Amino acid sequence: MVEENPDPRPQAVRKMRQIVDPLGYFASEGFHLLGLFAILAVTVFAGAQAFFRMAERGVASIEDLLLLFIYLEIGSMVGIYFRTNHMPVRFLLYVGITALTRHMIGYVQKDAPPDAGILILASATLILALAVLVVRYSSAAFGSGEANRETKAD
């Protein structure tokens, strides 16, 4: 004797999920890729603007160069994410260190008297540098083998 399924909902739900899950995955991945391309496009645009402003002035300050380095790091971070599908957290820390250094140089160049602000910026930079050390060590010591092989080159 063949038993009939008294409640057709589980089978209907399974069929619905077979249709909806790929659509949801497609929409999620599409939004994700669109966001990454937008970040990359805005980064390239901002970097080009900064470069042309420097060329127009005919001089580049250390702050300008550090700003271009920040754009380069953001672009590299997006590129690495496209290749490995892993967010390189270290690059975010590098951007933070570079931004703090840029801010500190601007702060000192404005003939500001030495005060606690410089110590705070230097301390924050040191904390981010220590965070890079912790991330690199933990990645090497405890990370998965596949993720380590993919990011060894960066």
**Closest alpha carbon to 94 in 85, 105, 102, 83:** 102
The predicted model gives 86-107 an average pLDDT of: 90
pLDDT confidence of 11, banded at 50, 70, 90? Answer: confident
Per DSSP, helices labelled H in the chain are: 9-57, 62-84, 89-109, 116-142, 145-151
CA 118 from centroid of its chain's CA atoms: 27
pTM above 0.85, yes or no: no
Q: Residue 45 to residues 77, 84, 97: CA-CA distances in angstroms?
A: 16, 24, 22
Residues 14-60 pLDDT 10s = 888 888 888 988 998 899 889 999 999 999 999 999 999 999 999 98
Half-sphere exposure of 129 toward its Cβ, with a 13 Å CA cutoff? 9
d(CA 115, CA 98): 21
pLDDT confidence of 4, banded at 50, 70, 90? Answer: low
Q: Residue 117 to residues 11, 101, 109: CA-CA distances in angstroms?
A: 64, 13, 13
Q: In the prediction, which pLDDT does 15 show? A: 87
The predicted model gives 5-9 an average pLDDT of: 62
Q: Please name the amino acid found at residue 123.
A: S
Q: What is the mean pLDDT of the chain?
A: 85
